[in-house]
Chains A and B, each alone.
Chain A
Amino acid sequence: MTPTTDRGRDLPAPPDRWRRLLGEDGIQKWVFYIPVVFFILFFAAPMALTVVWSVFERTQFWMEPGFTLFAYENFFTSARAENYVLSMLHAAAAVVISFVIGFPIAVFIRRRVTRAAQHRVILLFILPFMISELVRVFAMRPVLGRNGVVNSVLMELGILSEPITVILYSPLGVIIGDVMSFLPFMIFAGFLALEAVQNYIFEVCDDLGTGRVRLFADIVLPLAAPGIFAGSVFIFVNSMGVALVPTLLGGPGAVNAGLIANQAIVALDFPLAMAISTIMIFTLVLLLYIGHRLFDLTKILEPIS
């Protein structure tokens, strides 16, 4: 509508370019794109460029543009590939254990705790999750060690005659460390996915007398699949990629993908580090793509959309 005076005369539109520029159709509109630009520039671009840098040629202290698959050859023909597969197996074990321990908790909170108290119970798991992973992993040493809490208690109770050493500085120690580090995420993701499931679904099942196993396998599991999958991928990828756990709990020879990449950086073999990162990112993207196709991962965000 054209602005008019009291007398009904048309007024010329104010030629205030600055106001338009700073207004809602100007800068204010574009301000919302800052996070997108930032993440494309400093996250997506570096991740994508790892593929390019992985085929560069290694120099003494850096790398130079070129095309060589030497880094990949170096990776696949050495013990690194074997270690990578081994760390995948350890990560898979951590996922399974986290699911077995954590998912029933998510189901219990969602189904048996009153609506008002559900988020308060979830807060109980926020506290351990927010304490530094470094400290939590470090804290496992005096607990799992030869003279640690576990051995002391078990020997005190007469269950063990001598300390068990297999739980620290071993593959089992790494799996325990991964589970202790990432377990809360399985509970959060499972709970978030179950929040989208309406209560009447459970009530209908109860009314029909559905058994526990069938309810779990046919109702809970399919409906919570996106959350379970997201939680599993998070645990799997981080178990494979966080070097801290094998460094502190794995003992000599224990490695994972993150540690291999770290060692390559220390050895100034940047193309190799980038090749490992590429393989890791490819694994992650593949898993997320498969998960999204199978379970539609956007469903997890439905409760907060």
Chain B
Amino acid sequence: MYDDFANPWTIRLKWAYLLAVVFALLMPVFYTIGISFNLHGFGARIYEFTFEWYRVVLGDTLLVISLKWTLYLALATIAATIPMALLSAKFYKRTRRKVAFVALMLSPLFVPADIMGSSLLVFFKNLAKGFAWLGQTLGVGWFDGWFDLGFLTAVIGQIIYTHPYAFIVILITMSRYRVQQTEAARACGANAWQAFWDVEFPQIRVGVFSSCAFVTILSFNEAVRTALLKGGFDTFSNMLVAQMLNIGMSGESYAMAGIMSIVSMIVIGTVIVYTLVRAERLERRARAMAEPVMSD
């Protein structure tokens, strides 16, 4: 028999290893952010702190427009993905064909961005041609432009990409919910919507809001599928790819990467801190309830 705790150094060493891996994963990002604040850019011997590169990025009209498009895309993706992920999680709970359903919902995780993007690109092009043909055959103009590459197709691509993550997060939160509570609500006369909104939703709200945050970040960061499906507009990450490939590692590129990292860190950091604080509060409440009431 062995015991990690017999020798405190064993456990310390394991913690050190874990933190070293976290550090290794995060260090390049922080290093990039550090470079983005250096007036002299990457590789310079002198470090002179500046916001100049950020000023250049935020003063570039094209980049600001791309940021706006990124925001619209994220909002549209959230508006569609979160209700769908909720419906999927509810459906998963009640369906008997769980394996087939979950395979369909989680498969997009396993299809690389370029492959999915290429397939959707050809699919939408064919669909647009099909609708154009239908309109011509029927002699009406209603079908013109349906599924032409643009905002709608980019949103569909992002929904397919972000939905599995939102689905998993909501499903994890739902797993802690006792279905008997819904049954009790129904027995008390609530309809399906009331039972969901007044009883179930308050308990899974954290999962829903967390998945909103995840979808925002995933949408904000997504580049490949959007590049193939977006049609005529550019998102911020698409501009960064173009910048990296065409201009290289300029101060502007580092500032753009910095903006993307800082936004992600703020959103995820908020979710993590909120989750931790809430868990602590619930634990404290549970402990207080478990303590016996002492009489005077």
How far apart are the CA atoms of A276 and B116 in the complex, in Å?
11
Interface residues of B in 245-296 (CB under 8 A from A): 245, 249, 253, 257, 260-261, 264-265, 268-269, 272, 275-276, 279, 283
The answer to whether B249 touches A142 (Cβ under 8 A) is yes
The answer to whether B112 touches A237 (Cβ under 8 A) is yes
Interface stretch of the complex, out of B49-57, B59-67, B136-144, B217-225: B217-225
Query: Is A164 among interface residues, defined by CB-CB distance under 8 A?
Result: no
Query: Is B76 among interface residues, defined by CB-CB distance under 8 A?
Result: no
Query: Is B123 among interface residues, defined by CB-CB distance under 8 A?
Result: yes
Chain B residue numbers with a CB within 8 Å of A270 are: 122
How far apart are the CA atoms of A42 and B119 in the complex, in Å?
10
Contact of A274 among B43, B118, B191, B240 (CB under 8 A): B118
B226-252 vs A, CB cutoff 8 Å, 1 = contact: the mask equals 001000000001001100110001000
The answer to whether A45 touches B123 (Cβ under 8 A) is yes
The answer to whether A281 touches B115 (Cβ under 8 A) is yes
Distance in Å: Cβ of A59 to nearest Cβ of chain B: 13
Known interface pairs A38-B159, A241-B111; A149-B22 also in contact (CB < 8 Å): no
Query: Is A220 among interface residues, defined by CB-CB distance under 8 A?
Result: no
Chain B residue numbers with a CB within 8 Å of A212 are: 2
Majority-rule SS of A interface residues = helix
A130-163 vs B, CB cutoff 8 Å, 1 = contact: the mask equals 1111111011111100010100000000000000
Query: Is B184 among interface residues, defined by CB-CB distance under 8 A?
Result: no
The answer to whether B104 touches A40 (Cβ under 8 A) is yes
Query: Is B110 among interface residues, defined by CB-CB distance under 8 A?
Result: yes
Distance in Å: Cβ of A224 to nearest Cβ of chain B: 17
Query: Is A53 among interface residues, defined by CB-CB distance under 8 A?
Result: yes
Known interface pairs A130-B214, A180-B28; A39-B121 also in contact (CB < 8 Å): no
The answer to whether A35 touches B105 (Cβ under 8 A) is yes
Contact of B260 among A35, A44, A134 (CB under 8 A): A134
- Interface residue range, chain A: 35 or more
Chain A residue numbers with a CB within 8 Å of B105 are: 35, 39
Query: Is B79 among interface residues, defined by CB-CB distance under 8 A?
Result: no
Distance in Å: Cβ of A245 to nearest Cβ of chain B: 11
Chain B residue numbers with a CB within 8 Å of A34 are: 84, 87
Chain A residue numbers with a CB within 8 Å of B121 are: 265
Chain A residue numbers with a CB within 8 Å of B58 are: none
Interface stretch of the complex, out of A5-13, A66-74, A77-85, A119-127: A119-127
Number of A-B contacts (CB under 8 A): 240
Majority-rule SS of B interface residues = helix
Known interface pairs A40-B104, A265-B228, A304-B172; A184-B25 also in contact (CB < 8 Å): yes
Chain B residue numbers with a CB within 8 Å of A141 are: 249
Contact of B268 among A42, A130, A140 (CB under 8 A): A130
A177-196 vs B, CB cutoff 8 Å, 1 = contact: the mask equals 00010011000000000000
Query: Is B185 among interface residues, defined by CB-CB distance under 8 A?
Result: no
The answer to whether B22 touches A125 (Cβ under 8 A) is yes
The answer to whether B110 touches A131 (Cβ under 8 A) is no
Query: Is B198 among interface residues, defined by CB-CB distance under 8 A?
Result: no
Chain A residue numbers with a CB within 8 Å of B112 are: 237-238, 240-242, 257-258, 280
Contact of A142 among B31, B85, B156, B159 (CB under 8 A): B31
How far apart are the CA atoms of A236 and B174 in the complex, in Å?
30
Known interface pairs A180-B28, A270-B122; A105-B115 also in contact (CB < 8 Å): no
Known interface pairs A101-B21, A304-B175; A143-B28 also in contact (CB < 8 Å): yes
The answer to whether B113 touches A241 (Cβ under 8 A) is yes
Distance in Å: Cβ of A291 to nearest Cβ of chain B: 11
How far apart are the CA atoms of A2 and B101 in the complex, in Å?
38
The answer to whether A139 touches B31 (Cβ under 8 A) is yes
Distance in Å: Cβ of A200 to nearest Cβ of chain B: 15
Contact of A277 among B25, B119, B244 (CB under 8 A): B119
A34 nearest in chain B by CB position: B87
Residues of A within 8 A of B (CB): 24, 28, 31-36, 38-40, 42-47, 49-50, 53, 62, 101-102, 104-105, 108-109, 112, 116, 119-121, 123-128, 130-136, 138-143, 147, 149, 180, 183-184, 206-207, 209, 211-212, 233-234, 237-238, 240-244, 247-248, 257-259, 261-262, 265, 270, 273-274, 276-277, 280-281, 284, 288, 298, 301, 303-305
In addition to A120-B276, A125-B22, 14 A-B residue pairs with Cβ atoms within 8 Å of each other are A32-B94, A42-B120, A50-B119, A128-B29, A130-B217, A130-B264, A132-B237, A135-B257, A138-B257, A140-B28, A241-B111, A241-B114, A298-B98, A304-B168
Residues of B within 8 A of A (CB): 1-2, 4, 11, 14, 17-18, 21-22, 24-29, 31-32, 35, 42-43, 84-85, 87-88, 90-91, 94, 98-99, 101-102, 104-105, 107-116, 118-123, 125-126, 156, 159-160, 163, 168, 171-172, 174-175, 191-193, 214, 217-218, 220-221, 223-224, 228, 237, 240-241, 244-245, 249, 253, 257, 260-261, 264-265, 268-269, 272, 275-276, 279, 283
